Amino acid sequence: MGKLLAVGTLAFDAIESPFGKTDKILGGAATYIGLAAANFKVETGLVSIVGDDFPQEYIDILTQKGINLDGVEVVKGGKTFFWSGKYHLDMNTRDTLATELNTLADFSPVVPEGFKDADIVMLGNLHPSTQLSVINQMEKRPKLIILDTMNFWMDNSLEELKEVIKHIDVITLNDEEARQLTGKYSLVRAAQEIEKMGPKYVVIKKGEHGALLFHDQNIFFAPALPLEEVFDPTGAGDTFAGGFAGYLAATENISFENLKNAVIQGSNLASFCVEKFGTERMVTLTREEVDQRLLQFKELTQFNIELQ
Amino acid sequence: MGKLLAVGTLAFDAIESPFGKTDKILGGAATYIGLAAANFKVETGLVSIVGDDFPQEYIDILTQKGINLDGVEVVKGGKTFFWSGKYHLDMNTRDTLATELNTLADFSPVVPEGFKDADIVMLGNLHPSTQLSVINQMEKRPKLIILDTMNFWMDNSLEELKEVIKHIDVITLNDEEARQLTGKYSLVRAAQEIEKMGPKYVVIKKGEHGALLFHDQNIFFAPALPLEEVFDPTGAGDTFAGGFAGYLAATENISFENLKNAVIQGSNLASFCVEKFGTERMVTLTREEVDQRLLQFKELTQFNIELQ
């Protein structure tokens, strides 16, 4: 059983979609990463920050999944990061209605002693300097450092982002972000450019159109499972990342062949995440459901052509 | 070796893309279908119409690939169908600059005697009544009738389209067209609705995002091969259809498992089509290149997860 350290937000989310709207519910990148990784035999520790308005009920949801929260700072009198967004019918675009950084504005992550030797580090979407600080606190080079980021940091902190990218092994970002980061329209070329910046592996997330894994001349593709209804895409990307990282930590195998499997595992878990609002589906998810849907992924993608 | 009958346009195309522009070159659905099917051991006959401005050189390209043109009417003094379009950088949208129906305006297809017993019929994108007329001329029910269509017929000839759809086995259309035809946003639900209209199999083409095959509760997905450059998407959908139909005719096996393979073969051939302007790449394509790229498709999609 490997050890996974993940840094990211714990948050309140308020979500509107064509299917309804929520009050403030449990959200945040670290939450989704932790819940996804909890589907594998892995020791997961989260590094994050909340205010004392973050309810015990949410803490319990995470700890009951076996997630270690020693690295979560609770700021007395502080308020937890809040995000609100609205999805349109196509679910690929969303409007941010509110972002209140609150305690996140002064987040200085502290990696707990017990996770300074983690095998895998998952740097959830945060300021690149915060991500770099986590790397610098590790007592030995982790076997694999995975970084998720987004266009906001390319717009506002590009140099810091490029610096942290030098130190990682895997980057995950979406197709538009890959294009923005490189100025290349072709995703094949964009991935080649990103590999020159540092990461050996590039994962380009395309939402309902699946995810691509690039490594040298190799490309692997995992579709998103076609669903009758996508209810709420919030957290799907973080769930993908958490499943990807959690599977690699559990299997203790970072070969390209196993990274392919990790992409499938991440895609599989993300397909559950979007079925209900927020974390609802991830909290109730069982091993049997996960395995059952993995068989669907096999049926969806596997074929057997004999060359004529 | 099975027999494939395909109906569709033979055309002049003039294409603009970010990579350049062409004068009038060989185009048309039947052209691309025939060239794609020619990669398999199949006897292919085309039903179409041209004017006597259609050059012998183009005729030779098709006949040298072993394509039977007994069903192609040449109208003396007539002009061949002409289409002109312009692609933008994302290659998913195009503007039609000109459409001159010419001889196509009075096209009344005549299936040659030698193909009235074809195993597979591929109805390329045309007026639905023209497509239906081909079905009605077959002397026995083909093993499989495949129909390709587009939004233009949904806008202008919906009742005729619904009529011909009742008589076919496989429909191919793109994601937006599937949504328009059914009023369902979810492609899973759209496919379910289309199956109720007649076809047992629904293929939804998503361009650079691949293609989905639906049948009852089964779904299969084939990605598009990620390419460094998509040069000209013209004919990719018809090439997909021609590869799909040609492979099924050659293997004489219309099981769902083999339809999966046919989707991969169609996607594989389409990946070549877009590499150069018009039919240029399809004309020079060799069996070895096709097989080599099939291996790339395997590497792109095949994984081996052992359930824990």
- Kindly list the averaged pLDDT for each block of 10 residues, start to end, along chain B of length 308: 96 93 96 98 98 98 98 98 91 87 96 98 98 98 98 96 98 96 96 98 96 97 93 95 98 97 98 96 97 95 81
Chain A contact present for B264, CB below 8 A: yes
Contacts of B143 (CB under 8 A, 6+ apart): B119, B120, B254
Determine the residue type at B114: G
Nearest CA in chain B to A307: B291
Nearest CA in chain B to A287: B308
Which residues from B are below 8 Å from A304, CB to CB? 257, 261
B189 contacts A226? CB cut-off 8 A: no
Which residues from B are below 8 Å from A261, CB to CB? 303-305
Name the residue facing A303 among B261, B304, B305 (closest C-beta).
B261
Question: Residue B307: what pLDDT?
Answer: 65
Overall average pLDDT of the A131-147 stretch: 98
A299 contacts B302? CB cut-off 8 A: no
Chain B contact present for A261, CB below 8 A: yes
ipTM score assigned to the predicted complex: 0.92
> A6-10, A46-50, B300-304 — which is least confidently predicted?
B300-304
Strands B68-75 and B82-87: unpaired
Which residues from B are below 8 Å from A228, CB to CB? 186, 188-189
CA distance A55 to chain B (A): 34
B220 contacts A221? CB cut-off 8 A: no
DSSP annotation of A41 reads S
Instruction: Tell me how far apart the alpha carbons of residues A98 and A69 are, in angstroms, rounded to a whole number.
Output: 27
Overall average pLDDT of the A134-146 stretch: 98
CA distance A300 to chain B (A): 4
A305 contacts B294? CB cut-off 8 A: yes
B299 contacts A220? CB cut-off 8 A: yes
Nearest CA in chain B to A18: B185
pLDDT greater at residue A306 or residue B126:
B126
Which residues from A are below 8 Å from B300, CB to CB? 219-221
When the pLDDT of each residue in chain A is averaged and rounded to a whole number, the result is 96
Query: Longest C-alpha distance within chain A, in Å?
Result: 71
> A145-159, A192-206, B84-98, B175-189 — which is least confidently predicted?
B84-98
Name the residue facing B226 among A219, A265, A304 (closest C-beta).
A219
CA distance A107 to chain B (A): 37
Question: Residue A307: what pLDDT?
Answer: 65
Which residues from B are below 8 Å from A307, CB to CB? 291, 294
**Six token digits for residue B62:** 């098709």
Size of interface A-B (CB pairs under 8 A): 98
Name the residue facing B221 among A206, A219, A301 (closest C-beta).
A301
Name the residue facing B186 among A186, A222, A228 (closest C-beta).
A228
Question: Residue B306: what pLDDT?
Answer: 75
Selected for mutation to probe chain A from B87, B221, B296, B302 (highest A CB count within 10 Å) is B221
CATH architecture of A3-301: 3-Layer(aba) Sandwich (3.40)
Q: What is the pLDDT of residues B103-145, one digit of tens each?
A: 999 999 999 999 999 999 999 999 999 999 999 999 999 999 9
Chain B contact present for A98, CB below 8 A: no
Question: Residue A308: what pLDDT?
Answer: 53
Contacts of A29 (CB under 8 A, 6+ apart): A8, A9, A124, A125, A126, A148, A235, A238, A241
Nearest CA in chain A to B263: A303
CATH ID of B2-301, from 3.30.70.890, 1.10.10.10, 3.40.1190.20, 3.90.1150.10: 3.40.1190.20
Which residue ranges make up each domain of chain A? Answer: 3-301
Question: Residue A119: what pLDDT?
Answer: 98
Question: Residue B88: what pLDDT?
Answer: 86
Q: Is the pLDDT of residue A259 over 70?
A: yes
Instruction: Tell me how far apart the alpha carbons of residues B184 and B165 are, in angstroms, rounded to a whole number.
Output: 18
Asked if residues A270 and A24 have their Cβ atoms less than 8 Å apart, the reply is no
Instruction: Provide the percentage of residues in chain B whose pLDDT is more than 90.
Output: 94
Asked if residues A300 and B210 have their Cβ atoms less than 8 Å apart, the reply is no
Instruction: Provide the percentage of residues in chain A whose pLDDT is more than 70.
Output: 99
Question: Residue B285: what pLDDT?
Answer: 98
Determine the residue type at B62: L
Question: Residue B139: what pLDDT?
Answer: 97
Q: What is the pLDDT of residues A76-128, one digit of tens each?
A: 999 999 999 999 877 777 899 999 999 999 999 999 999 999 999 999 999 99
| Angle between helices A158-165 and A187-197 in degrees, nearest 10 | 80
Overall average pLDDT of the A201-218 stretch: 96
Report which of B20, B56, B34, B44 is spatially closest to residue B273, judged by C-alpha positions: B34
Overall average pLDDT of the A238-263 stretch: 97
CA distance B51 to chain A (A): 38
Name the residue facing A219 among B250, B260, B300 (closest C-beta).
B300
Question: Residue B308: what pLDDT?
Answer: 53
Chain B contact present for A229, CB below 8 A: yes
Which residues from A are below 8 Å from B37, CB to CB? none
Q: Is the pLDDT of residue A18 over 90?
A: no
Asked if residues A237 and A174 have their Cβ atoms less than 8 Å apart, the reply is yes
